[in-house]
Amino acid sequence: MPVRFLGFALLMALWLALPACGVRQLAHGEIQPPEVRFQGLALGRPTGQTWPVTVTLLLTNSNPRALNLKGYDCKLWLEGVSVAQAASSEPVYLPPYGRTRAKIPIVVKLPAVASLLPRLLEPQPRLHYQVAGGFRLGAVLGGLVRVPFRFQGEVTPQEGLDLLGLYKH
């Protein structure tokens, strides 16, 4: 019985030490978190009771080894009103010294943006938006460490539709 316990204890110690290596590497600057850049906010055509929105981000890996991200979470505000959130555990692969474009689909429920309708009917409507969230680093504590992002700007409905066409492929 004591041999089994010792084996289990050693296995647990090894298992607990592995993620700590990623934390140490991050703390010592051996692993750099990916750079997250905003590429665009595309507004789809409303259908039924929903309004599809796509947030496109460019992730850049400055490390000599690949990074695996364990998904993301994201929130969207339009005109200062929180209108939707999205989350995914789908992995994102970043090759060594490489880039990956991440498209985050968000579905806005139309009742959440009903107060914005008068603004959309203006002659040249512009929507102020804010997008915030984070990607989870797989190499550090099994994805518990987040790489946060926050962007804001404005978009017209037509610009949003034009951007959607650029990123469909």
**Mean pLDDT, 10 residues at a time, the chain of 169 residues:** 52 44 48 92 85 93 92 93 93 94 92 77 80 85 79 78 49
By three-state DSSP, how is residue 158 classified?
A: helix
DSSP states of 2-60 = HHHHHHHHHHHHHHHHHHHHHHHHHHTTSSPPPEEEEEEEEE---BTTEEEEEEEEEEE
pLDDT, position 31? 80
Cα 151–153–157 angle (5° rounding)?
125
**Is the pTM higher than 0.85?**
no
Q: What is the CATH number of domain 33-166?
A: 2.60.40.10
